Structure 1
Amino acid sequence: MQKLDERVHRGRGLTRARFLAGMAGVGVAAGGLPAGPARARRAAAAGAGPGLRHRGVVYTVGEGETPGTAFRAARMRRDMAAIRDRLHADTVEVTGDGVERLTATATEAAERGLRIWLQPTLGDVPERDILEHLAETGRFAERLRRQGAVVELSVGCEFWLFVPGIVPGADVFERIRNLQQGQVDPVAMQRRLDGFTAKAAAVGRRVFHGRLSYAAAQDDEVDWRLFDIVGIDYYSFFPDRARYVRELRRYLRWGKPLAVTEFGTCAYVGAPQSAGMGWDVVDHDKTPEEIKGHLVRSERTQAAYLMQLLDVFSSLGLYAAMAFEFVTPDAPHRPGDPLHDLDLASYAITKTLQDRPFDPASGWHWEPKEAFHALARHYASGQRHGAADAQALPPG
């Protein structure tokens, strides 16, 4: 895959309001089919159990934007060990582009006993290339599954933004502009989105025989009959817990397990209120890039938001939740230099520290943020409770 700019990946919530406004204008309500009595009963069963079943983190395997942040297998292996042993996650969402990077990371995760949510996200190339990239990744996932690994395959994420031809535009940036400016026919867009989603699901089914999913934007129209697990990237902010619960319950009406394939925020005061736009605080026209405004760094804000959402997910008994994301090496933390502390625009639960600040070839390492420690405590507690519950179950 030609590399997708990580800034776009972090900002996938960018066009939500305009997209919904366009759909409302043609009389299409967000969220799909209403639930009948049978579906409602299945929905209750899908989300009725207390506790979050699987606790994970997103791990992106792109090329990197600079020589210093290029993918390194040795670093990836250390990260997989940290995800299991320090974060106490039981699941890792391996996402990004490049079949070799995806498969090497999934193999390492499997060898360490982690559950794998494998999600190729090739974009801004012809449709056939995206589907072939998915097929190659899916065939590997099937081999890994047959060898005994626990693998679930997601056919991709938010196709309307990353797949050419659904929204007009030569690249993701132009598509974003067209959506912002209302230069999109929402009916035609939905038809093209439905068509590509169906193709991707068919490719996934052909090459992979485990559970299949897709990572949708919160308000996307998706025919979830195509998939075994409902997957959403979730970045809402509400002042009270009840509204999160009410919003999330509508995704259970399909009677299928619900996985939150991304959730998170940035580490500054007010970031959660920005939802999917928390990343948009960098002036990329400056050299070096600068943080806009006068943000107050607050790792506690990020940690508190993640814990609030995990409490909601647990109360609904969701199938899985993957915090976004483990590390963002192209957004380094620069202590004592708030103007250039690009980590403020990162959703990562670790902070990247360069050996030589502002040198694109510099080595780097990560250190945990407060969010990492909070997740580790929560995930470790969930593992203990899960083991106790398993012991309490009758045999068979």
Structure 2
Amino acid sequence: MEKTKGINRAQFLAGAAAVGVAGAVLPAGGAGATGRGETGGRGGLTRRGVVYTLGAGETPATAWSADRMRADLRAIRDDLHADTVDVTGDGVERLTATAAEAAELGLHIWLQPTLGDVPERDILDHLAETGRFAERLRRQGASVEFSVGCEFWLFVPGIIPGDTVLERIENLQNGTVDRARMQRRLARFTAKAAALGRKVFHGRLSYASAPEIDHVDWNLFDVVGIDYYSYFPQRKDYVRELRQHLRWGKPVAITEFGTCTYRGAPEAGGMGWDIVDYDKTPPEIKGDPPPVRSERTQAAYLLDLLAVFESMNLYAAMVFEFLTADAPHRPGDPRHDLDMASYGIAKAVQDRPGDPDTGWHREPKEAFHAVARAYRRAGQRQ
């Protein structure tokens, strides 16, 4: 078993909520050209996918499982009708096993290592080993692109002061960070990661950015990657906002987009998950009364954004995310229905509700079915 250092999801979300930072909200921008970067087809997105997050798991029950991964990827291909899977997380063994299985299933692979809170050298070694495997897959004929990482300002120590993600977020939020120095350090590490990515992988290269913080030199990459959590009542405002990223004349990939599963979640943007009090045991949904669960709200938001991305002929869009195993659904118990704070389009249902070590199974949400219909129709048109 390889040794990696992941980030405890509950602790991260609780700490981020305390300082009021999460997600990426894009500033308004100007006009540009097409974001497809490819020719052929009848317009619309070229790649339609979902983010599949890997990690060590919060409990033995939610730990990574090869059997579960294989079943999930088959569901992504056959039931969700996605042609692309964004394989992301930490642990080279998990990343490479999942990417290899996706290749066997004929899925396009967007492979993105995200190791955080360890020394820079370890992050780069993790990147290089994953990238070398991606190159082997590519040479064997798999359809694969490689992203060197996600939001380095957050995960890589040394760009913002602080030994952990939570410390870095707090320092950024309290105004003690020298922004000019932060940008220099961020640019330096991003350039280093891009150069290493080019060295080990010879296909198309990208990075998943939070544009409000990541001022990326996209000349370093082949695809502009955007984590997108904006909300507008009218679709035209999404188009206006996204156009700024077309000015590079390169394919634009929405590397994350999504919302949580309750009324009002889209308006909360990247802070949609901030409805859980993790200081309580067990964690519970905040509010009196708590938010109202609404799978329809989540589904409608995803369909609205997919329509925007299709209309702009962007290159790719990946729904965030397939499943959040450590945020289980508790039917009939809104105070402890942690799935309301999940961006997953499938929900985890425990065999014994409330027992963190129990087995569980996944069930599709309304969003899963809605996205599946949209992906199927789009695939039939092309």
Contact 2:226 2:255 in 1 (8 A): yes
* SS of the residue 2:363 aligns to: strand
What pairs with 1:191-340 in structure 2 (closer than 5 Å)?
A: 191-219=184-212, 220-293=214-287, 294-340=290-336
Contact 2:345 2:368 in 1 (8 A): yes
CA distance in 2, matches of 1:44, 1:277: 27
Higher helix fraction (1 or 2): 1
Q: Contact conserved, 1:231 with 1:259, CA < 8 A, in 2?
A: yes
User: Cα deviation per residue 1:249-280 (whole Å; 9 max; x = unaligned)?
Assistant: 11010000000000000010000000000011
Query: Cα offset for 1:360?
Result: 2.0
Q: What is the TM-score with the length of structure 1 in the denominator?
A: 0.89
Q: Percent identity?
A: 68
Aligned residue pairs, count: 371
Distance 1:202 1:14, change over 3 A: farther
How many angstroms does 1:357 deviate by?
Answer: 1.7
State the match for 1:381 in structure 2: 377
Amino acid at match of 1:186: R
Give, as a single letter, the amino acid of the residue that structure 1 aligns with 2:348. Answer: T
Match of 1:2 in 2: 5
Residue 371 of structure 1 aligns to a residue whose secondary structure is helix
Shift of residue 50 of structure 1?
Answer: 2.8
Cα deviation for residue 379 of structure 1 reads 0.4
Partners of 2:346 and 2:259 in 1: CA distance: 12
SS at 2:149 equivalent:
strand
CA RMSD of aligned residues (A): 2.3
Structure 2 distance, partners of 1:371, 1:105, is 24
The gaps in structure 1 that reach 5 residues or longer are 21-29, 387-396
Q: Is the 8 A contact 2:35 2:251 kept in 1?
A: no
Q: 1:93 aligns with which of 79, 83, 86?
A: 86
How far off its partner does 1:5 sit? Answer: 2.4
SS state at 1:260 partner: strand
Partners of 1:45 and 1:138 in 2: how far apart?
Answer: 24
Distance 1:190 1:200 in 2: 15
Matched, 1:369 2:372: no
Shift in CA distance, 9/310, structure 1 to aligned 2, threshold 3 Å = farther
User: What SS is found at the alignment partner of 2:86?
Assistant: strand
Equivalent positions of 1:51-130 (< 5 A) are 51-130=44-123
Contact (CA 8 Å) 2:49, 2:85: kept in 1 or not? yes
Counterpart in the other structure of 1:190: 183
How far the C-alpha of 1:239 sits from its partner, in A, is 1.3
Aligned partner letter, 2:248: W
